[in-house]
Structure formats: structure tokens, C-alpha cells
A and B are shown apart, each in its own frame.
Chain A
Amino acid sequence: QSALTQPASVSGSPGQSITISCTGTTSDVGGYYYVSWYQQNPGKAPKLMIYDVSNRPSGVSDRFAGSKSGNTASLSISGLQAEDEADYYCSSYTSSHTLIFGGGTKLTVL
């Protein structure tokens, strides 16, 4: 199973909105609603930001939103803040009963 495809980097200015895409196949993203997103700061463990495509765990800001269309999932961050600068990974359930990740996207807040 190949990794999901994410852009290597995205950037935005404070207050702006950005979107990170995550493209897979019908055997993963397109076939299931178990798509999730993670934020990872340098030297730290990842943190769950979105699960089941669009649900936010308790404590995650509503500036973070997830969606899916066909084989592509997206993470949107509105009102960008300096603290949002981090690496972001998507993940999806697969037909092999495993969870696979995207390659990761580095978000830079200009």
C-alpha cells in the first residue's frame, strides 16, 4: 500500500486560511470515512486534530476543519496563527485493514 499524497509544503500569513490536500485511492481515502489528520511539532509526538473525515476531538480549535471528496481529503485551517506552524499528516483506513499516512506537509506561517 503506497503512502497517501500530500504537498510537501504550504504557507500562509497570519489571519489567512490554508488548505492541505491528501490524495489516495478507492482502496483507502475514497472507500472509507476513517480519515484523520495530525499535527506534529519538532521533537514532539503527533496530536490528533481531525478524525472520521470531519470530527474534531475535544480541545481542538474550530479553526481546523476536515472534508473529503472522492479520493481526496482536505484539512483547512482558518485564521492562521503562528502556533499553527508545524508538520501535518493525514491518515486513512485501507482495504488491508491498516492505517496509512501521507508523506506530511510542512506548514509555514509567514
Chain B
Amino acid sequence: QVQLVESGGGVVQPGGSLRLSCAASGFTFSSYGMHWVRQAPGKGLEGVAFIRYDGSKKYYVESVKGRFTISRDNSKNTLYLQMNSLRAEDTAVYYCAKDYYLDGPAAFHVWGQGTMVTVSS
């Protein structure tokens, strides 16, 4: 079955960096757009970044532009999120999600279990 497993979360100081990974299985990873979505404690959902199936287009929410970079390695079936210059407001559970379509972004079809990122001194 389709499975997404995030890793790389943890506690980091403000201004620090972290790289999240999302290992995909059970579907043809190279045929779908992929997302990172976050949810701050007790808050709603926020789409962070999207990457097309072939990596040719990437879109980011305004608050992370210039600090976060989404990428993928289709040979390893893995999605990444490089997070630099982290701020307290980046504290959240980060989910990776498979888009419903090849091109997208259209809908968050399947979700991972999430990984917690805490930015604190």
C-alpha cells in the first residue's frame, strides 16, 4: 500500500538548520507531485512547499521563501525539505503528502505520519 515515512525532525535553535526526509513506497514516486504541509501545535494546516513529479517546478508559501528548499530524488523515492534560518514560528508537525496528480498542485492525496520540528533556545 502507499506509504510515506518522514524523518529528520527534532529540536533546533533559532537560526539553525534541519533537513527533513520523506521515504515513499507503494506507488510510482516519479509520477506524482509531492508536498510538505505543517501544523503548529493546536493550530490549523498550512501548505509549505510543492514540487512537480520531475522537480521542474517548485512553489512555496510566502513565509518560507528564501529559507526552505524542497527537492526530490526519484531514484531513491525520497522527498526532502531543507530548512534554514529557522524561527520559533516554524515549530510544527511537518507532513509530507502525495498529490493526487502528476502535475499538481491539486490535492493532498496520501499523508505521512508527520515529524515534529521544535525551534527553541
- Chain A residues with CB under 8 Å of chain B are 1, 3, 34, 36, 38, 40, 45-48, 51-52, 57, 89, 91, 93, 96-104
- B108:A91 contact, CB within 8 angstroms: yes
User: Which A residue sits closest to B93, measured CB to CB?
Assistant: A45
5 nearest interchain CB pairs?
A36-B107, A51-B107, A45-B111, A104-B44, A101-B45
Chain B residues contacting A47 (CB-CB under 8 Å) are 111
Contact mask for chain B residues 99-113; partner A; CB cutoff 8 A; 1 contact, 0 none: 010000111111111
Chain B residues contacting A52 (CB-CB under 8 Å) are 100, 106-107
Question: A103 CA to B61 CA in the complex, in Å?
Answer: 16
- B111:A46 contact, CB within 8 angstroms: yes
When A and B form their complex, what is the total count of cross-chain residue pairs whose Cβ atoms lie within 8 Å? 69
- A48:B61 contact, CB within 8 angstroms: no
Residue in contact with A98 in the complex, picked from B59, B95, B108, B111, CB distance below 8 Å: B59
Residue in contact with B95 in the complex, picked from A45, A89, A100, CB distance below 8 Å: A45
Chain B residues contacting A99 (CB-CB under 8 Å) are 35, 47, 50, 105-108
Is B73 an interface residue when CB atoms closer than 8 A count as contact? no
Chain B residues contacting A45 (CB-CB under 8 Å) are 95, 111-114
B46, B57, B60, B108 — most chain A CB neighbours (10 Å): B108
Chain B residues contacting A96 (CB-CB under 8 Å) are 59
- A93:B45 contact, CB within 8 angstroms: no
- B45:A89 contact, CB within 8 angstroms: yes
Contact mask for chain B residues 44-76; partner A; CB cutoff 8 A; 1 contact, 0 none: 111100100000010111100000000000000
Chain B residues contacting A100 (CB-CB under 8 Å) are 47
User: Which B residue sits closest to A45, measured CB to CB?
Assistant: B111
9 A–B pairs (Cβ distance < 8 Å), ordered by A: A38-B45, A46-B111, A48-B107, A52-B100, A91-B107, A98-B60, A101-B46, A102-B44, A103-B44
Question: A1 CA to B44 CA in the complex, in Å?
Answer: 15
